[in-house]
Amino acid sequence: MYMLKGKHILVGVSGGIAAYKAAALVRALVKDGAEVRVVMTPMAKHFITSLTMATVSKHPVLAEFYNPENGDWNNHVSLSLWADAYVVAPATANTLAKMAHGIADNLLLTTYLSMRCPVIAAPAMDMDMWNHPATQNNLQTLQKRGVHIIEPPAGELASGLEGKGRMEEPERIAAFIEQLFVKKKSLAGKTVLVTAGPTYEAIDPVRFIGNHSSGKMGYALAESLANCGAQVLLISGPTSLPVPKGVELVRVTAAAEMHAAVTEHFASVDVAIFCAAVADYTPEKKSTHKIKREKEPLLIALKPTVDIAAAVGKQKRKNQLTVGFALETGDELTNAQKKLQTKNLDMIVLNSLNDEGMGFGSDTNKITIIKKDGAIATCPLLPKQKVAEIIIDAVVDAMMC
Ligand code: PMT
């Protein structure tokens, strides 16, 4: 009941036959307590009138950059600042393509480019257009940028063909938006520590032993956790990524510094997620000067670093939850299960270098979540943002048990 009370939802309607369902969507959102505004493409007005959309939304509809009668400017930037969520429904193949490529030739699109809030798209088109590689590529691009795509279900299409392409029912789209806001608050009041990125173990003032972690997975987790209302402390090895909004960052370089930072904060957090690729070995001695090139092989003695997750796992309280990652190259499941136990984790996220598109540096990952009760859930290859949301859902579920 009134799950969207106080929320500002902007509905973008593009020109397809499913535009007639946009009126029902607006009604459902208004009934749920949301304040709704509508922006339409010029083509959409051929499918449903502005009068209908203005009546159901209780606000004038925006379709042009300015009012030709008095020169009033429809400011897309202020619309994007106003909105808590932007749902483009229906999203035609043309509008999705333009969104993916940053084309801004109507008010719906300029508004999309200025959006700071979650964007949801409910595609609607003929099944051959849906299946076309161009459309599928555009959808992937948008998903990678964090746009939520509500996949069209299969059924009878306006063309008379049967297949995937009809827009999802308005009530389901409204329910999806409600869920976004419920999820947004699900970690309010909780503090979550995330480790991310690589560590650099210095050999001399110039060289180090490092690894290929970009930090993308850990930063995606930090961002999604902040979006869910958590207070997030991100302890990060060297990366060039921007700090996600609302996240407190502690920068470290070597494994020993990461260990010190995690130890300092662990007692005060509710959840810790160890996503960093921490060096298992560090040079026994760091040369104070740049090591000169010689003819003989250079031997560097390495000593083990502290296993951070295992060390704090020993101090874990009953009301704390810890999540580890396992990066494997063989015998994946068994190795990950061992790590789950030796590090006293509540769950471990396995990713394998044998899976194409996973892990290091890429924008995607393919994970399997293993819980301490033995439950195993495998996910397909997905954008890291989506992977982060799946991990957070598992954390929220575990906290409720
Ligand atoms: O950063 P990206 O480019 O996005 O890549 C993401 C990733 C591949 C780095 C990430 O998904 C990942 O798998 N992170 C863990 C990498 C790793 O070090 O795995 P591991 O199996 O060696 O370590 C197991 C767990 O122990 C991890 O949670 C790790 O953070 C932790 N650990 C390891 C060594 C150590 N000294 N201290 C630790 O806490």
**Model pLDDT for residues 356-366, shown as the tens digit of each residue:** 888 788 989 99
Question: Could you report the per-residue pLDDT of 75-94, keeping only the tens digit for each?
Answer: 777 888 899 999 999 999 99
Give residue limits of the domains in the chain.
8-184, 187-400
Give SS3 for 177: helix
Pocket, ligand 1, Cβ cutoff 6 A: 195, 197, 213-217, 255, 274-278, 280, 305, 307-309, 324-327, 339, 351, 359-361
How would you class 140 by CB atoms within 10 Å of its CB: exposed for 0-12, middle for 13-18, buried for 19 or more?
middle
Strand runs labelled E in 165-246:
191-196, 201-202, 208-209, 231-236
Tell me the backbone φ, ψ of residue 289, rounded to 5 degrees. -125, 165
Apex 20 CA angle, 15 and 25, nearest 5: 105
> Ligand 1 pocket: which of 241, 259, 278, 335 to mutate (most atoms <8 Å of CB)?
278
CA dist list (Å): 101 to 97, 104, 135: 6, 9, 12
Identify whether the C-beta of residue 182 lies closer than 8 Å to the C-beta of residue 3.
Answer: yes
| Identical fold, 8-184 and 187-400 | yes
CATH of domain 8-184: 3.40.50.1950
Residue of the CA atom closest to atom 11 of ligand 1: 359
CATH architecture of 187-400: 3-Layer(aba) Sandwich (3.40)
* Long-range own/partner contacts, residues 170-174 (CB < 8 A, 24 or more apart): 170/21, 170/22, 170/24, 170/25, 170/27, 170/28, 170/89, 171/24, 171/28, 173/25, 173/28, 173/87, 173/89, 173/120, 173/122, 174/25, 174/28, 174/29, 174/32
| pTM of the shown model | 0.69
- The two structure tokens encoding residue 63: 């379709």
Calculate how far, in angstroms, residue 158's C-alpha sits from the geometric centre of ligand 1: 49
The catalytic position among 75, 211, 335, 344 is 211
| The ligand 1 atom nearest the CA atom of 339 | 24
Residue of the CA atom closest to atom 35 of ligand 1: 307
- The two structure tokens encoding residue 299: 């031997």
pLDDT profile of the chain (401 residues), mean per 10: 88 97 97 96 97 96 82 77 94 98 96 92 96 97 90 85 91 91 84 98 98 96 92 98 93 98 98 98 97 96 98 97 97 97 98 88 93 93 88 90 72
| The ligand 1 atom nearest the CA atom of 239 | 1
Q: Residue 67: what pLDDT?
A: 73
Alpha-carbon distance 350 to 365, whole Å?
10
- The two structure tokens encoding residue 335: 């190795």
Calculate how far, in angstroms, residue 224's C-alpha sits from the geometric centre of ligand 1: 19
Alpha-carbon distance 312 to 318, whole Å?
13
Calculate how far, in angstroms, residue 320's C-alpha sits from the geometric centre of ligand 1: 20
In the annotation, is 211 catalytic? Answer: yes
| The ligand 1 atom nearest the CA atom of 311 | 39
Calculate how far, in angstroms, residue 147's C-alpha sits from the geometric centre of ligand 1: 27
| The ligand 1 atom nearest the CA atom of 336 | 21
Tell me the backbone φ, ψ of residue 9, rounded to 5 degrees. -115, 125
Q: Residue 71: what pLDDT?
A: 74
Identify whether the C-beta of residue 363 lies closer than 8 Å to the C-beta of residue 216.
Answer: yes
Strand runs labelled E in 50-198:
85-91, 119-123, 148-149, 154-156, 162-164, 191-196
Q: Residue 1: what pLDDT?
A: 60
Count the alpha carbons within 13 Å of 394 in the hemisphere toward its beta carbon: 27
Alpha-carbon distance 94 to 138, whole Å?
10
Calculate how far, in angstroms, residue 74's C-alpha sits from the geometric centre of ligand 1: 48
Alpha-carbon distance 247 to 234, whole Å?
7
